[in-house]
Amino acid sequence: MYEVECQSIEPERIKFKGMIEEYFKENGIEYSDSVISKFANFRVGKLPSWLCVWMCKNDEEVVAVIAHELGHWKLNHTMFSFIAVQILTLLQFGGYTLVRNSKDLFQSFGFDTQPVLIGLILFQHTVIPLQHLVSFLLNLVSRAFEFQADAFAKKLGYGAPLRAGLIKLQEENLSAMNTDPWYSAYHYSHPPLVERLAAIDEPDKKTD
């Protein structure tokens, strides 16, 4: 059974929640109003099959976030990420093969034979510097994709709802809104909230 959670003072009057309930009824899916908070689920370590209609008191914000996700699909971000992961996986297998077959490398560490496990350990330590570089580059690409998806949603006319939705998502996640640019560029796959809001507002400023 699914549990429907709606963070609103009067969830029974929320249009979006009603749409979800109507969908459940039409398709014969059993559901009930959630009686357990997300914090309680976290404390007990349970993740039930539930549908969380997050902050559903504003339908436009929900649609704006969906428009952002559709932007990733429309701009082929998902396909690019999939291809990039496959290429990186092939490179990892190829790199491991080179390390595994390198007698000189094993001998330099005092091994007369070439055990598979030792080869894997040597490969992991060898690629650590490259992993940091690749992770940084992937974060740069991911951040660029987020800006493009935001611009896509704004182009569809959901700039203001997306802005409000991002702020609420940030409040829900309790994450930093304005971090150091260099730190966020290296560690975060998504731009900080302040940068995203500035990018959403930028076209409006240019037209003034």
Q: Which of 62, 63, 32, 61 is nearest to 49 (CA)?
A: 32
Three-class SS of residue 158? coil
Q: Which amino acid is at 202?
A: E
Three-class SS of residue 4? strand
Place of tokens 């510097």: 129
Q: Which amino acid is at 124?
A: Q
Backbone angles phi, psi at 32, to 5 degrees: -155, 160
Show the tokens assigned to 21. Answer: 């309930």
Catalytic residue numbers?
A: 69, 150
Three-class SS of residue 77? helix
Place of tokens 């350990």: 121
Q: How many CB atoms lie within 10 A of CB 150?
A: 24
Residue 94 near residue 46, CB atoms below 8 Å: no
